Amino acid sequence: MQHPLAAAFEGYEPIEQPLADLRPSAVMLLLVGEVGREDVVFQVRTQTVRFHKGEISLPGGRKDDTDESYLHTALRETEEEVGVPREAVDVLGALDDVVTVGSRHLIRPYAGVLRTGVEPTITAAREVSELIHVPLAHLQDERSRVWKVVENNGSPQATPAFEYEGHVIWGATARIVGQFLALTSGVPGATP
């Protein structure tokens, strides 16, 4: 059975950015749980990774030369980091490319639904310190949206973010989540 949110991706053409001097990478916005009560799986990055130490991200990472596509990268990294086999993810589709400000990554995001019977677990403890399951309904609630002030080239800058139980999801991850919410809003069967 196809997930109701798949309708939002039918005919959608994501905006792809030129790679230029950016680092190619891909992530998976992974939905888990029953239809209408899904959670989004986020991970807290360790303090030992090269980029984005301690930040909240989606499963994913840098595209390898052996990866056939960005989708392959997203599925491979999701399997490596949270133990979800590629064949257990029903891919809904791609979202618009996002470029990170500091680390200069070009991120190609995908959204997918985890089939029942599989539970994400940390399988890359060097990269991931914690998994956070945030209810999709919480992210859809305007009250979850906050502003985070970050320093950019020595100046404070406010950036949109999401807050959940003391965790702040911001930056490229928040932009990806925001686009997913905008694309899927109003889809029949989506959480109100």
Q: What angle do CA 71, 75, 76 make, to 5 degrees?
A: 115
CATH number at residue 37: 3.90.79.10
Q: Does the residue 43 lie in any domain?
A: yes
* Domain enclosing residue 75, as ranges: 13-141+169-184
Q: Does the residue 98 lie in any domain?
A: yes
Number of domains in the chain: 1
Give the C-alpha separation, 41 to 29, whole Å: 7
Q: Does the residue 86 lie in any domain?
A: yes
Q: Does the residue 173 lie in any domain?
A: yes
Question: Could you write out the DSSP letters of every residue in 170-183?
Answer: EHHHHHHHHHHHHH
Q: Does the residue 156 lie in any domain?
A: no
Is-contact 22 138, C-beta < 8 A?
no
Q: What is the pLDDT of residues 44-96, one digit of tens each?
A: 877 565 655 568 899 999 999 999 999 999 999 999 999 999 999 999 999 99
**Residue 25 token pair:** 């990478």
Give the C-alpha separation, 176 to 185, whole Å: 14
pLDDT for res 190: 60
Give the C-alpha separation, 77 to 83, whole Å: 9
pLDDT for res 48: 65
